[in-house]
Amino acid sequence: MSPQSHPHGTSDSTREVDVADALVTDLERLSVEFATTAARFIRDERPTRVRVADTKSTDTDVVTIMDRESESLLRRLILAARPDDAILGEEGSDVPGTSGLTWIIDPIDGTVNYLYDIPAYAVSVAVAVGDAHTEGAWRAIAGAVGDPCRGLVHHARRGGGAWTRREGRGGAEPARRLAVSAEDSLGRSLLATGFGYAAEVRSRQAEVLRRVLPQVRDIRRIGSAALDLVRVADASVDAYAESGINAWDLAAGWLIVEEAGGVVVGVGEHPGKALTVAAGPGLVAQVRALFTQP
C-alpha cells in the first residue's frame, strides 16, 4: 500500500516512502509485539516503590527509572528487527535511519498514574512516514497501544481497521473491531481531556473548561493521551481534546481513531501541541470549535 493512496490522504511532506501492503501488515504485527512486550515489562516488573529518575518541564513532569528501562527495551527490539529504521522516543531515543520509516515510541504514557499505581497507563508504538520531528510532516502507517492494566493491546494499520485483542492470545481469541461513537450532539457527548504540567498552562486550561463543561454531558480526565484516543476509537468516550500533545503521545492513537472511523484534527488539519481533537465525523467540528473560540 502506498500511503498516498489511502482515502484519508497525506500531505506531500509524508510522501517519501512507498510502503507495500505486506510491509505495512508486518509493521503492524511488530508494533503489537513490541507494545505488548513493553507493557508486560512495566506491569510485571513494576517495583513496589517506583523511583523518580528525573523531571522535565516542571517538578510535576516526572521520568521514572522504568520509563527509561522500557524505552531501552523498545529500542533494542526495534533495532534487532528493523536496523535501518529511525526511532523517536519520549525519553531521548533519537536514532537516525535510512529506510524512510520512523518508530515513534512512548515507553510509559501516563507516568504520573504509573508512579501512584493508578491503573491507567500505556505503551505507545507507531511507525511513521515523513519527518517525525516536524509537526504536520508525518503520518503513522501502523501502530499499537499496549494497555497493561487491562491486559489488552489496541492496534491498527493504514487501511486495515482498528482492533483490540487480549495480549498474547494470538489467534486463540478473535480480535474485536473498533468503531467510534455515532453521537453528534455536543450536549450528549462525554469528553476526555488532560492538563499540562506548568501552572500557567493549567490555569489557561481551567478557564477553557469553565466554558466547555456546561456544554457537554461530562468531562473525563484519564491521565494518558494514548488511552484517551483508544477510548474514542472504542466509543467509551465520544470525544477527546487536549493541548500540549507530542508526537509520541499521539502517533499510535491517532491512527487507531482514524481506522475506527473517527477524525483527528488540531487547530488546523494536523493535530499537535496547540490542540488535538478526536471524535466521530458528526462531532469533531463542534468539539474543535469549543476549544478554539476566543
Helix axis angle, 284-292 to 199-212, nearest 10°: 120
Q: Which of 87, 108, 141, 256 is catalytic?
A: 108
Is 90 among the residues known to form the active site?
A: yes
Q: Which of 28, 71, 90, 258 is catalytic?
A: 90
Is 109 among the residues known to form the active site?
A: yes
SS3 175: coil
Q: Which of 10, 111, 164, 193 is catalytic?
A: 111
Greatest Cα pair distance, the chain, in angstroms, is 52
**Helix ranges, the chain (H):** 21-44, 65-81, 111-115, 199-212, 225-233, 247-259, 284-292
Q: Which of 67, 69, 85, 109 is catalytic?
A: 109
Is 26 among the residues known to form the active site?
A: no
Is 108 among the residues known to form the active site?
A: yes
Listed residue (66, 76, 73, 227) closest to 147, CA to CA: 227
Burial of 269 (0-12, 13-18, 19+ CB in 10 A): exposed
Number of Cβ within 10 Å of residue 25's Cβ equals 14
Number of alpha carbons in the 13 Å side-chain half-sphere of residue 135: 17
| CA–CA distance, 232 with 240 (Å, rounded to integer) | 7
Q: Which of 28, 67, 91, 106 is catalytic?
A: 106
What string of DSSP letters covers 134-157? STTSEEEEEEEEEETTTTEEEEEE
- By annotation, the residues acting in catalysis are 90, 106, 108-109, 111, 249
